[in-house]
Amino acid sequence: MKEIKVWDIQTRIFHWSLVLLILSTFATADILSFLGIDMVNKDAWLAFHIGTGAAVGILLSFRIFWGFCGPHYSRFSSLPLSHKALFSYLDTVRRNTRTSYTGHNPAASWTVLCVIGLGLLVVISGTVVFAIDERRGVLNFLYGDFYRFADNFKLLHLGLSYALLAVIFGHISGVLNETIRHKTGIITAMFTGIKSSDELEKPLPTGGLLKTVSFAWIIAIFPTVIYLISSMETKQPINLTIPAIYKKECAACHMAFPPNALPVKSWETMMANLQDHFGDDASIDLTSKKEIEEFLVKNAAEHSHEEAAIKFIRSIGKDSPPLRITDIPYWQEKHKPIPQATYLRETIKSKINCVACHKWSEYGSFEDSDIRIPKGF
């Protein structure tokens, strides 16, 4: 047997970049939360999760291209994909018999296809979830018609992700088996590109255009991650015109709360009893009362497509909608990790001073990427 060049530099960069990106994507999605172990704040890492997920999609699309245009052992045509070859190989694993494959063995060949297929489905389903749950990304136009199906697509995305993780664990087990028990050196080969084989060395493609396209495709993952993370930094508020009378009468005592923070019934109940407004007399003339109530009811949570409004409604229930935003179950869940002392800072002062941390809250936008908890005492 002699040493021959099997894996080109593009394939090796693809492989290890994919390993790092998938690991990063799973870590920032907090996969251990499925076991009740919370390791990261998913909201805080959403931008990074989206960026690395998109980069995974770019790499997988490159692998499809390389499967048709790359060197011999990277091409799909070189993969032993017959069921007979797979079962025969698995039988040798069962019997602990050493095998010799210059390129991919049958199990690795099926792993390549499963990782590409499942990986792309995970990326696509994640893009859909990002669009219909956050109203962002290239598919954000789907939000208005499909936001109510966000939880269904989240479940699909999660299921596909765990299926991909299972395939990856299976692949790692196979690689360790070959490395530890048979000393095949396949891990080293994925760094050096060199393996021992009786086959004749097949020349790697040397065309300048192919090299340029392939390297540009792989390198594209870096600006993609940077761009997507930076583009998540802010989001313009929803198009909402706040009546001057609402600001004058309501913002005199507290911030002018966004109408989509509470359902219609809450606003109607509140406006019908202004003479006892949380212990104060907030009575106003009938004309002003009517204008404010119309504004609140027209833009209440049921009529809003904003993510926070939708989740408020889902958590409230139909029987007794609260009059306080801080009584909404979803609000309480999201603010549970925040220490009570934080609300007492001079820069915040109160739990109902939403605008202190959510810069577009006055307009009903509470995007995670817009949250800035001010420092101070």
The tens-digit pLDDT sequence of the chain (377 residues) is 688 889 999 999 999 999 999 999 988 886 656 566 555 556 667 888 999 999 999 999 999 999 999 999 999 999 999 999 999 999 988 888 888 888 999 999 999 999 999 999 999 999 999 988 877 888 888 887 888 898 899 999 999 999 999 999 999 999 998 888 878 788 899 999 998 877 777 777 667 888 899 999 999 988 888 877 776 655 555 678 889 999 888 888 888 899 999 999 999 999 999 999 988 898 999 999 999 999 999 999 988 878 788 888 888 877 788 999 999 998 998 898 899 889 989 889 889 899 899 888 888 888 777 788 888 66
Say how many C-beta atoms besides its own lie within 10 A of residue 19's C-beta.
13
């010799």: which residue's tokens? Answer: 100
- Round to whole Å and give the CA distance between 46 and 217: 24
Nearest to 135 by CA among 121, 124, 148, 122: 148
Q: What is the pLDDT of residue 47?
A: 82
Q: What is the pLDDT of residue 11?
A: 94
| φ and ψ at residue 80, rounded to 5 degrees | -80, 95
Q: What is the pLDDT of residue 162?
A: 93
Which residues, at least 6 apart from 316, have a Cβ–Cβ distance to it below 8 Å?
263, 322, 328, 329, 330
Q: What is the pLDDT of residue 185?
A: 81
CA 105 to chain CA centroid, Å, is 33
| 96, 207: one domain | yes
| 279, 361: one domain | yes
């069921």: which residue's tokens? Answer: 83
| 76, 122: one domain | yes
Domain boundary among 176, 209, 231: 231
Tokens encoding 36: 């009740």
Q: How high does pLDDT run on average in the chain?
A: 87
CATH number at residue 65: 1.20.950.20
| 211, 323: one domain | no
Nearest to 77 by CA among 118, 112, 115: 112
Is 238 among the domain residues? no
| 298, 160: one domain | no
Is 314 among the domain residues? yes
Q: What is the pLDDT of residue 96?
A: 85
Q: Could you report the per-residue pLDDT of 43-91, keeping only the tens digit for each?
A: 667 888 999 999 999 999 999 999 999 999 999 999 999 999 999 999 9
3-class SS at 2? Answer: strand
Is 150 among the domain residues? yes
- Round to whole Å and give the CA distance between 307 and 129: 12
Tokens encoding 240: 């909402």
Number of H helices, E strands in the chain: 15, 2
| 309, 218: one domain | no
| 91, 157: one domain | yes
Q: What is the DSSP string of 7-38?
A: S-HHHHHHHHHHHHHHHHHHHHTTGGGGGT--
Domain boundary among 200, 231, 262: 231
Q: What is the pLDDT of residue 43?
A: 61
Q: What is the pLDDT of residue 166?
A: 96
**CA–CA–CA angle 180, 184, 187 (5° rounding):** 80
Determine the residue type at 166: A
Is 29 among the domain residues? yes
Residue 136 sits in which domain range? Answer: 2-231
Beta strands in the chain (DSSP E): 2-5, 194-197
3-class SS at 195? Answer: strand
Is 93 among the domain residues? yes
3-class SS at 168? Answer: helix
| 111, 169: one domain | yes
Q: Could you report the per-residue pLDDT of 126-147, keeping only the tens digit for each?
A: 999 998 887 788 888 888 788 8
Handedness of CA 158, 123, 334, 39 (dihedral sign): positive
| 6, 89: one domain | yes
What is the gyration radius of the CA atoms in the chain, in angstroms? Answer: 28
Domain boundary among 231, 254, 288: 231
Entry pTM: 0.73
- Count of positions (residues) in the chain: 377
Is 87 among the domain residues? yes
Is 271 among the domain residues? yes
| 139, 256: one domain | no
Is 237 among the domain residues? no
Q: Give the residues across from 47 on adjacent strands.
A: none
| 45, 178: one domain | yes
Q: How many distinct structural domains can be found in the chain?
A: 2
| 174, 313: one domain | no
Nearest to 245 by CA among 278, 293, 280: 293
Q: What is the pLDDT of residue 235?
A: 53
